[in-house]
A and B are shown apart, each in its own frame.
Chain A
Amino acid sequence: MAVYEQTYKRYAGKLTPDWSRFLIIPRHAYESIFSSKLFTAFFVICFVPLLLEAILIYLHHNFTALTIFQASIKDLLPIDNSFFRAFTYVEGIFAFFLALLIGPPLVARDLRNNALPLYLCRPFSRTEYVMGKMSVILILLSAITWIPQLLLFLFQSYLEGFAWFRANLWIASAIFIGNVVWILLLALLTQTISALVKWRVVASGLLLAIFIIPSAFAEIINLMFQTRWGSLLSLNALMYSVTSGLFGLFDRVSGTIAIRDFDDNVVREITLVEPPLWCSWAALFVVCAICLALLSWKVKAYEVVK
């Protein structure tokens, strides 16, 4: 079917392997995403905390630099599980805003323009479509979360020595699992909302609401019933518990509440006990399962009216 021949000809060349086709979607999506200078600038800003993390690690092992800054090693954060957890948390926030920027229009735009039949009439399944759309977010968020953090972990291991690496290998797994769970949750939530709501602004608002409203509701329940079980409704609290658990910082007793009489005497003390970790994992699993079910319901070539 050469331009000059102007005739219809079948394609007889080599085909790409089936397994790699879902990656076509992120490749084309990035062309359009990075055409926005504002987005590119924000993406670069996402690396600033990582740069700070790298500088802190470097300073820990460079006494000359410490002398120049007139600081002692005690003034710096210790490089341990808390250190990596803190930066995981910070990058998690950046990841959230990045997902908020790129996630909502991904499926919504296709639904609005009836593009799904065009994808699904090809040797390209619904699963591949969802995987492709999710990988737009997963790849980009991986680039600012677990990949650089693991590289920094290796950087610290290089400077500290093999003994430190061997003793703290579990931190690397915590960095990987904690970040992957977070970005997977973000990817699933944004895609589900995108499939349910066709308007970008509404979808972005809904994503924010999903994190804010249940968290507020959870706090109200916790205060009313003097418990911590309400936290199971808050995605923020669930992720906090899960990552704390992974980094070995989870403590079930999160505080006490003193009940006082009118004379301000302590009548009773209530110990606030966080739900067990498995409950947080189970709650996250339920959220993900609901998202997958909704995606499976919405991502269809045509909606059937029964």
Chain B
Amino acid sequence: MALPASVPEELIKSQTAYTEPPVIDLHGLSVSFGRRQILKNLRGDLRGKAIGLLGPNGAGKTTLIHTLLGFHPPSAGTAQIFGLDVTNDAKQIKSLIGYMPERDSFIAKMNAVHFVRLMGELSGLPPEAALERAHEALFYVGLGEARYRRLETYSLGMKQLAKLAQAIVHGPKLIFLDEPTNGLDPPARLRMIKLIREIRDSGQAHILLSSHLLLDVEECCDEILILRDGQIAVYCNLEEERKSNRKFLMLETRGDQERFVQALAKLGCEYAVSGHRLKIVLQEGIEVRDLYRLADQEQVQIRRLSYKRDSLEDIFLKAMENGYGRL
């Protein structure tokens, strides 16, 4: 059906975006190893350009990635990637995916070009195309000069880059990056983050970034899924969160803070106390001047006041403290 010419382009884009299948669609996905249930009834659809997968160690991040890759069969429910079922369409899915594993993984006695070329060929590229793209991928990740060196001689940072090169050599539509900045020094980490952002911004591939480093996820991702004990603790669209302009106020006070806090509660404000610091979410209709008035009434000095956005760290910590759900 043709759309009228007057329909704004953004609206067309947003509508077509949602008619496309989600990048990852979880339908009550559960995974068990023997009697141990690792993933419990995961539900939700992820559509972001770069999806962050967060959670403490043992939350099930890597198991979720492995299940999506078809390494572990679901014990209940299923998942879809671009509308393809992970169990029934595993081969089709794998041709659309690139995977950078967390652990050191390479093929011994090979130089980087040979390794990346082999990986390209296994993804279905003809030998000539695989060789060409292997060179390109290695140059792209910054290993151009070291591409004829054996992988065993690479430093940890170089090995991480070689793993990234093998994950992108066949130009996948979705790239799984499992702890890509693990063990990297600050410059190498920055380089990796820059590469991930470049791939994201190219618009050619979606990224699923699993990490326990909040900063990495915050810098790269527009959508996050926080896992805790194998369940979804929080789903959050960071992009929308940023746009929604939900601001926090950080206050540093002196005086009878307890009475001031009680007065704030009566106003209906959400707050959190930490020593002399107060974190407040202003309710609709309440202005900053109301806070000064309240402070005056309760004889409390406001020494400092600043706006602070809900950072990923706050979201994460809240998810770890509270129940499960959508933020």
Report A's interface with B, CB cutoff 8 A.
1-3, 6-16, 18, 21, 24, 28, 31-32, 109-110, 112-115, 117-125, 300-302, 304-306
Contact = CB atoms under 8 A, between A and B. Distances in A.
Given A112-B108, A117-B71, A117-B99, 12 more contacts: A1-B140, A2-B136, A12-B171, A13-B129, A110-B107, A118-B107, A121-B71, A121-B176, A123-B91, A123-B92, A124-B94, A301-B66
Interface string B15-49: 00000000000000000011110000000000000
Contacts of B122: 21, 24, 119, 122-124
Given A8-B202, A301-B69, A28 B118 contact: yes
Interface string B54-69: 0000000000001001
Query: Residue among B107, B133, B205 with the most chain A CB within 10 A?
Result: B107
A306 B129 contact: no
Given A8-B202, A114-B101, A3 B66 contact: no
A109 B304 CA distance: 61
Interface of B: 33-36, 66, 69-72, 91-92, 94-95, 97, 99, 101, 103-110, 114, 118-119, 121-126, 129, 133, 135-137, 139-140, 144, 166, 168, 170-173, 176, 198-199, 202, 204-205
B137 A1 contact: yes
A8 B99 contact: no
A120 B109 contact: no
B101 A118 contact: yes
A123 B89 CA distance: 10
B166 A118 contact: yes
Contacts of B71: 117, 120-121, 300-302
Nearest to B170: A11
B140 A6 contact: yes
Contacts of B202: 7-9
Contacts of A109: 107-109
A32 B123 CA distance: 21
A16 B125 contact: yes
Contacts of A117: 69, 71, 99, 101, 105
Contact of B118 (A13, A24, A302): A24
Contact of A123 (B118, B123, B198, B199): B123
Given A110-B107, A302-B71, A11 B66 contact: no
Contacts of B118: 24, 28
A304 B63 CA distance: 10
Contact of A6 (B107, B139, B171, B204): B139
Contacts of B69: 117, 120-121, 301
Contacts, number: 136
Contacts of A118: 99, 101, 105-107, 119, 166
B171 A9 contact: yes
B125 A304 contact: no
Contact of B129 (A6, A11, A28, A120): A11
A42 to B, nearest CB: 19
B218 to A, nearest CB: 21
Nearest to B163: A118
A121 B139 contact: no
Contacts of B166: 118
Query: Residue among B105, B135, B168 with the most chain A CB within 10 A?
Result: B105
Q: Which A-B residue pairs are the 8 nearest by beta carbons?
A: A306-B34, A11-B171, A10-B171, A15-B124, A121-B99, A114-B105, A301-B71, A123-B95
B33 A16 contact: no
B136 A1 contact: yes
B198 A7 contact: yes
A3 B165 CA distance: 13
A113 B101 contact: no
Given A11-B133, A109-B108, A114-B103, A122 B119 contact: yes
B126 A14 contact: yes
Query: Residue among B34, B110, B119, B124 with the most chain A CB within 10 A?
Result: B124
Nearest to A118: B105
Contacts of A113: 104-108
A123 B96 CA distance: 9
Contacts of A2: 136
A304 B33 contact: yes
Given A9-B204, A113-B108, A121 B126 contact: no
B125 A3 contact: no
20 contacts: A1-B133, A1-B136, A1-B168, A3-B144, A6-B139, A7-B202, A8-B168, A8-B171, A109-B109, A113-B106, A117-B99, A117-B101, A118-B105, A118-B119, A121-B69, A122-B95, A123-B92, A125-B91, A306-B33, A306-B35
Nearest to B199: A8
Contacts of A31: 114
Given A1-B137, A306-B33, A115 B107 contact: yes
Contacts of B125: 11, 13, 15-16
Contacts of A301: 66, 69, 71
Given A2-B136, A117-B71, A121-B94, A10 B121 contact: no
